[in-house]
Amino acid sequence: FRNNRDGTFTDVTGKAGLTHSGWGQACCAGDYDNDGFDDLFVTYWGRNVLYHNNGDGTFTDVSARAGVAGSADRWGAGCCFLDYDRDGHLDLFVANYVAFDPERAPRPGESAYCRYSNIPVPCGPQGFAGGTNLLYRNRGDGTFEDVSEKSGIATPRGSSSPVFVGQNWRPAGSYGMGAAAADFDNDGWPDIYVACDTAPSLLYRNNHDGTFSEVAVPAGCAFDESGAALSGMGVAVGDYDGDGWFDIVRTNFSDQVTTLYRNNGDGTFHDSSLAAGLGVNRKYVGFGAGFFDYDNDGWKDIFLANGHVYAQIGDGKLHVSYKEPKILYRNLRNGRFEDISSKAGVSALPPQVGRGCAFGDFDNDGDIDIVINNLDGPPSLLRNDGGNRNNWLMVKCTGTRSNRSAIGTRVRVLTGERAQIDEVMSGSSYYSQNDLRLHFGLGGASKADLIEVLWPSGIKESFRDIEANQLLAIRETKGIVSRSRFRAAR
C-alpha cells in the first residue's frame, strides 16, 4: 500500500511487482546492496523471496540470484536484516518453524498434539520436527553465502543430535517464530533473539568473529520464571525501564502470561512479567507485540495483537474465542504497567484474529500509529489521536561507512536527567517490519539536551540543544542534513 500523504493508501501490489503468491509468513526490510533504496524479504512455507527495490516504485525478485530462496521444504518464519560482522553490508537471519509436508501431515485429532480441549484441530508444532534457523552473509556483490553451520546458528545448542520433545525423540530444531536483532549486552555487536513455540527460546550472542553462541538458558530468557518453555510467538525489544539496556517482551499462547524479560544490565535477564503487572491477561493467544511510546511521555508502553489459532473453537463452547481483543499497557514509570485498553479505546475495537503488527507514524503527526495484519480479514489501521499532546523527536539515520539503512545504529536522547535509547531494527513483533525512523517522546520538554548516535562502524556523533517536534535526518559523518517540522490535521 502506497501512502497518499492524506491519510489514505493505494494498493500498488501488482504495479510494484510484488507478485509472488504462496503461504506467506514474515517480512523484513533493509538496503542489502547499499543503493539507497530499502529492499524487502518475505518468508514462506517453501521458498523465500528477496525483492530488490529498483528505486522507481517497483521491485524485482532476485531470490535465486542472491542465493537466499532456501529449500522448498522449509517453513520460513521471522526474519531480520543485520550487519553481524560490521562490514557495512546487511546480512540476513531467517528463523524456521517446522519441517512440514502436507501429504504426510497428521490429520486433526490423529494424536495428542492434534487436539485442543479434546476438540480435533490441526496439529501443533510438537507433531512435527523443528525447523533449522539460517544465517546468510552478504558478500557485498548482491549475493549471499549460507553460513548457518559455521556461524553456530544452525545448531544453536551445539549438537545436531535428536532432542526429546514431549514424549518423543525428534531431530534437533527450535520451532522458531518471531525474531529480532539488537545489541543486548551493549558490546557494540548485534545479537539475535528468537521466540520459539513450545520450546526454549534462543539468544544468539555475537562472538565478534563471525560466530554466535546460543546463551538463552544461562542468560535467563529461554524459559519463564517457573522454568517452563512457553509457546513463544512474537518478540519486541525496547528499554522500558530507562536503564540503557534493551529488554524483551514475548507473546505466548493462551493460559500463559506475556513474558517480560528485564535486562539485568549485563546482557542477562530475569522474568519480570508478574511483577510488572502483565499477568492480568492470560486467556488470549498473543502474536504481534511492540514497545512504543503511545503518549509521548518518554516511557515505552506495550501493545499486543491477539487471536486464537483454532477456528474450531469459534462456536463459543469454550472459555476462549477465535477472535480476540487487542491490549494496550501503559508504562507507569516504576517498572509496572497498567492495562488501559478500555481508556484508550482499544477494547472498543472489534475483536479480530490478530497476527502481525507494525508501528510507525503513518500520518507524520508526531505520534506512533499501528497497523495489524488479521487472519481471514482485512488489516486494521489504528491512528493515534492525541499522543502528540506531548513533545517528541524523530530521527532518520542513513549510513555511509555503515550499511545505508543504518540498521544496528543506536541513538541516545537526553532531556534533563532522563535518557532514552533506541536502535534501528529490521524485523520484529510477529513477522512484521516497523518504521525505520526512530521515535522519542519528550513529555513536556521543549528540546533534547543531547542526541548521541553510535553507528555500527564505531563512529559516534553528538548533537546538542535540539528543538522538539521535528524529524531529523542524520547522515553518518555528515551530521544533521535536514530538519522537517510537520503536524497532521487533527
What pLDDT shows up at residue 317? 62
What pLDDT shows up at residue 156? 64
Q: If pLDDT is split at 50, 70 and 90, which confidence band does 320 have?
A: confident
What pLDDT shows up at residue 434? 98
What is the reported pTM?
0.95
The CATH number given to 16-390 is 2.130.10.10
Is 155's pLDDT higher than 50? Answer: yes
What is the chain's mean pLDDT, rounded? 94
Q: Report, as an integer, the average pLDDT of 353-365.
A: 97
- Retrieve residue 134's grid coordinates: 539460517
Do you know the residue count of the chain? 490
Q: If pLDDT is split at 50, 70 and 90, which confidence band does 160 have?
A: very low
Least confident span in 163-167, 252-256, 353-357 = 163-167
What pLDDT shows up at residue 161? 42
- Retrieve residue 347's grid coordinates: 477494547
Give 4-16 pLDDT, tens digit per residue. Answer: 999 999 999 999 9
In whole angstroms, give the CA distance from residue 281 to residue 108. Answer: 28
For 11-151, where are the E strands, in sequence order?
24-30, 39-44, 49-53, 59-61, 74-82, 91-99, 115-116, 119-120, 134-138, 144-146
What pLDDT shows up at residue 315? 55
> End-to-end distance of the chain based on CA atoms, in angstroms?
23
Q: Report, as an integer, the average pLDDT of 256-265.
A: 98
Q: If pLDDT is split at 50, 70 and 90, which confidence band does 174 have?
A: confident
Is 316's pLDDT higher than 70? Answer: no
Place of cell 554466535: 212
What pLDDT shows up at residue 129? 84
Q: If pLDDT is split at 50, 70 and 90, which confidence band does 166 have?
A: very low
Instruction: Pick the more confident residue, 73 or 377.
Output: 377
Q: If pLDDT is split at 50, 70 and 90, which confidence band does 159 have?
A: very low
> Distances in Å between the alpha carbon of 455 and those of 193, 438, 452?
21, 14, 10
What pLDDT shows up at residue 104? 84
